[in-house]
Chains A and B, each alone.
Chain A
Amino acid sequence: MNKLLFKNFEIIDPSQNLNSIKDLLIVDGKIQEISHSLDISDVKIIDGSNKTLIPGLIDFHVHYRDPGETYKEDIKTGSEASAKGGFTTVVMMSNTNPTIDNLGALIEQKKIIDENCRIRVLQTSSVTIGRKGESLVDIDLLSKNGVVSFSDDGDVISDPKILDQALELANKNNRTILEHCEDHGLLNDGIINDGSVALRLGLKSRPKSAEISSVKRDIEIAKKNGRWVYLQHISCKESVEIIREAKKQGVKVTAEVTPHHLYMNELWTYGEKGELPSWIDLGAYDTNTRVNPPLRSEDDRLSLLEAVNDNTIDVIATDHAPHSRGDKLNTFDSAPAGINGAETAFVTLLQLVEKKELSLQKIIETMCNKPGEILDDILNLKIGKIKKGYSADLVAVDNNDTTKINEDFFISKSDNSPLIGSTMKGKIKMTIFNGKVIFEDKK
C-alpha cells in the first residue's frame, strides 16, 4: 500500500464543510481519511504548518497548441505549466492544426498524453469538421471514446440549426457544447473593448453586442428544446444578466469566466497594470493584454465578480493561450489574441480574496467542486473534492509567501502575460496528483 500523510494543514473544501486544521491520509492515490491528529506509523509525512490544502484545480479551458504550433507550447510543457499552477485536471480545446475532429486524431492525442503528462489531461473534439461550422463530427463515436465535450472554441457555431443538432447529440451522450460566444457578424474586426481606451488609442473596438447576441441565441436554443449548453469566457455585464435570468427560468446553462476578465479591465491596455496614465507611454499597446473576448470595463469586471459570487457563473477556467515572444512582438492589431494563464490563474484570484472581491471558498467551488461534478457526470471521475474515496488531487498553498511573476517565472514555452512584473501574495507550494507529489516549490 502506498501511503502519504498530510499533517496539520488548514483543509478547505466548501462542498464538504471543511475549514479547519486537520490531517489527511492518502492510500493508493485515493483520499482515505480526513481527521484531527491521525497517528499512523510507517508512512511518509508532509507537514503543513501554516499551509492550506485544497482540492486539485480543474481547468476546463486550455490550449496546448499541440499538434501544429508546438513552438508556442506542447502537451508536455502545457501540462507541466498547469501542474505548477495547481491544476490536476485540464480540458484541452480542439483548435489545433490539424483539428481534433475524428477518432484517429483522438487516439493519437491520447497516446501523446499517456506518454507525457503527469496530470489528467482530457480532450475535447471540435463540434464541426475542421471547425468550419458546416458538418458535425461523429459525436456518438467520439463520446464513446472518451472526449469530454465538444467545442469549436475560437469561433462561435454560426448556424443555429447545427448548434441545436450538436446539443441534442452531445446531451444524449451526457456531454455538452462549449460555446465561444462571439457573433462573427458583429465583431467589426475589433480588437479591444468598445470604450474610451479603444478611442484614445485608436484601436478598433470589438463590441459587447457580439457576445450578447450569441449568448442570447444559445440560451434560446437551449431553452426551446431543454438542452444543456456551456458558455465559455463570459466577459460583460449584459451577458451575466441574460444568464442570471435564464437560470431563474430553469434553463440548463453552465457559464465560465477567466481569471483575467475577473482581475483586469481594459485600462491594462495602457501597459501600466490597470492605472490610467496621464499620457500614453512606451508600455502602452501591450500586446499581452490582447485577448478574445477583450478585457472589458471596470463595471463589467465587477459584474462578473458578482456573478461568480451569486452562482450565475459556475466555472472559472484559464483559457490558457500561449503565444511565443516572436508572435507577440508586433503592433497591437497584428499580434495574436491570448493570455498565458495556467501558472498565474490561482495566485491572481488570491489577490481578489485579498481585496475581498472573492472568497477562497468561491474559488474552490468554481475551480474544483463544480467542474469536478460536471466531469464526474460525464466520465465518472471522482475529482474536485476532498472526500473519502476521491482521487487524491490536492494543492498546498502558503498564503504568507509571495509569487513574483517575472520572465523567469514561466515553465510554459511562452510567457505572454500582462502580469509580468507583478508580485502576488500567496504561493502554490505543492501539487499532488493521484497521491503523488508532481510539483513542489523548492524556493
Chain B
Amino acid sequence: MNFLRKHLLDIDHLSKDYIYDLLDGIKQIKRKEYKSNIKGKDVCALFYEDSTRTKLSFQKAVTNLGLNFHNLDVQKSSLSKGETFYNTIKTINSIGMDLIILRHFSSGACYFLANNTASSVINAGDGSHAHPTQTLSDLFTIFELDKKFEDLEISIIGDVLYSRVARSTLLGFLKMGSKINILGPKELTPHVITEIYESLDKSYKNKIKFYEDFEKPILDSNFIMALRIQKERFDSGSFMNFQTYKWKIDSDRLKTFNNDILIMHPGPVNEEIELSHEIVHSNRSVISKQVENGVHVRQKVIEELLTNE
C-alpha cells in the first residue's frame, strides 16, 4: 500500500488507487462538502527560489485550513550571511514546525530536508526533479472534467529535460494509465526517459512516444501541456536560440487540432513563446482551472500529511 506517509517529495510512491482517493477528497473540498478538523499546526514556507503563484497557493490552502502560516524570507535571512542549508534546517527544527513547504533550486533538496528535520515536508519544486502538487493539480483538472485517464492521450510540449513539472507530470499520467506524446527539440526531449519509466513498471511500456513536429497523434490528442521554456537555458545553450522556438501554439495552430482539445500550462506562461495571448485566455485553455485547483489540492495534501502524523 502506498500513501503519503510523512512527506510529499515526489509522486513516485503513490499508487493509482491512492491518487484516486486523493482526487475524490479534493473534489469534496472543492464542493465544500467536507471540513477539516486539524487545528493549531504551524506551517513554514521555505522558498529558495522566487515564486509568487505556488507560494500564494500554499498560503491560501494553509489559511483555508485555519493553520498558522510562517514565511521564511530566504533572501533576507541568514543564507545571505553564509549559513549552511543544514544549519538553517536545524534552526527551523529548533523553532518547531509541523510542516515545511520547500522550494529549492537544487534537485533533491527536499530529501535532504526530510532527512534532517522532525517536520513533515512538501516539495514545492526542487531543481529539475519534481513538483508533485503541480502534478496533482493537473490530474485533478482532468479528473473533474469526468475524463477517463485510460482513454486519454496527453501531449507534452517543450523542455522536458530541465522541467521538474514534466518529470512529475509524465509519471502521474503514466500511473493513471494515459498515453504520452512528447514533442520538442531533440536536445530537450531525451529518449532515455522511456527507459527510466519502463524500468519502473511494465505497464508503462510503449506508453511514451516522441515527435519533433505537430504530427497527427499530437493533433488528435486530448490535452496539450505546454511547458515553460526557461529562457536562461536557451541563451546559454549553443544548440538553440530562444527566438527560433517553433512549437508555439496560436490561433492558427489551434485550428489544426481536433475540436475538443484542451490546453494546459503549469505557468507562468511566456506569452507568445509557448502560447499566444489568445490561446491562454481562450475557451480551450484550462490554465486558470489548474491554478484554482492548486489551492484545493494543496489543502488536501497538507491535511493528509498532518493527519497522518
Whether, in the assembled complex, B107 has its beta carbon less than 8 Å from a beta carbon of chain A, the answer is yes
User: Which residues of A have CB within 8 Å of B116?
Assistant: 329
Q: A202-B126, A202-B129, A282-B111 are in contact. Are A333 and B106 (CB under 8 A)?
A: yes
Minimum distance in angstroms from B305 CB to a CB of chain A: 15
B positions within 8 Å CB-CB of A: 9-10, 12-13, 84-86, 104, 106-109, 111-112, 114-116, 126-130, 161, 164, 167, 190, 192-193, 195-196, 199-200
Whether, in the assembled complex, A27 has its beta carbon less than 8 Å from a beta carbon of chain B, the answer is no
Whether, in the assembled complex, A112 has its beta carbon less than 8 Å from a beta carbon of chain B, the answer is no
User: Which residues of B have CB within 8 Å of A276?
Assistant: 199
CA of A196 to CA of B200 in the docked complex: distance in angstroms? 12
Whether, in the assembled complex, A105 has its beta carbon less than 8 Å from a beta carbon of chain B, the answer is no
B10 touches A280 (CB 8 A): yes
**Interchain pairs with CB closer than 8 A, number:** 73
Q: A196-B195, A202-B130, A202-B164 are in contact. Are A330 and B85 (CB under 8 A)?
A: yes
B12 touches A280 (CB 8 A): yes
User: Which residues of B have CB within 8 Å of A279?
Assistant: 10, 12-13
Question: C-beta contact mask, A278-321 vs B, less than 8 Å → 1, else 0?
Answer: 11111011000000000000000000000000000000000000
A331 touches B192 (CB 8 A): no
User: Which residues of B have CB within 8 Å of A329?
Assistant: 84, 86, 116
Minimum distance in angstroms from B88 CB to a CB of chain A: 11
B9 touches A201 (CB 8 A): no
B12 touches A202 (CB 8 A): no
A332 touches B108 (CB 8 A): yes
B109 touches A331 (CB 8 A): yes
Whether, in the assembled complex, A199 has its beta carbon less than 8 Å from a beta carbon of chain B, the answer is yes
Q: A282-B115, A330-B86 are in contact. Are A201 and B107 (CB under 8 A)?
A: yes
CA of A350 to CA of B95 in the docked complex: distance in angstroms? 48
CA of A334 to CA of B86 in the docked complex: distance in angstroms? 11
User: Which residues of A have CB within 8 Å of B127?
Assistant: 202-203, 333
CA of A279 to CA of B3 in the docked complex: distance in angstroms? 12
CA of A202 to CA of B163 in the docked complex: distance in angstroms? 8
User: Which residues of B have CB within 8 Å of A281?
Assistant: 13
A334 touches B10 (CB 8 A): no
Minimum distance in angstroms from A181 CB to a CB of chain B: 23
Q: A331-B109, A334-B106 are in contact. Are A201 and B190 (CB under 8 A)?
A: no
A282 touches B114 (CB 8 A): yes
Whether, in the assembled complex, A195 has its beta carbon less than 8 Å from a beta carbon of chain B, the answer is yes
Minimum distance in angstroms from A200 CB to a CB of chain B: 5
B85 partner, pick from A196, A199, A202, A331, beta carbons under 8 A: A331
Q: A202-B126, A279-B10, A280-B12 are in contact. Are A332 and B107 (CB under 8 A)?
A: yes
Minimum distance in angstroms from A167 CB to a CB of chain B: 32
A280 touches B111 (CB 8 A): yes
Residue with the highest number of chain B CB atoms closer than 10 Å, among A200, A276, A284, A285 = A200
A330 touches B112 (CB 8 A): yes
B190 partner, pick from A199, A282, A284, beta carbons under 8 A: A199
CA of A196 to CA of B108 in the docked complex: distance in angstroms? 16
Minimum distance in angstroms from A32 CB to a CB of chain B: 55
User: Which residues of B have CB within 8 Å of A203?
Assistant: 107-108, 127-128
User: Which residues of B have CB within 8 Å of A333?
Assistant: 106-107, 127
A199 partner, pick from B109, B115, B130, B161, beta carbons under 8 A: B161
User: Which residues of B have CB within 8 Å of A284?
Assistant: 108, 111
Minimum distance in angstroms from A347 CB to a CB of chain B: 27
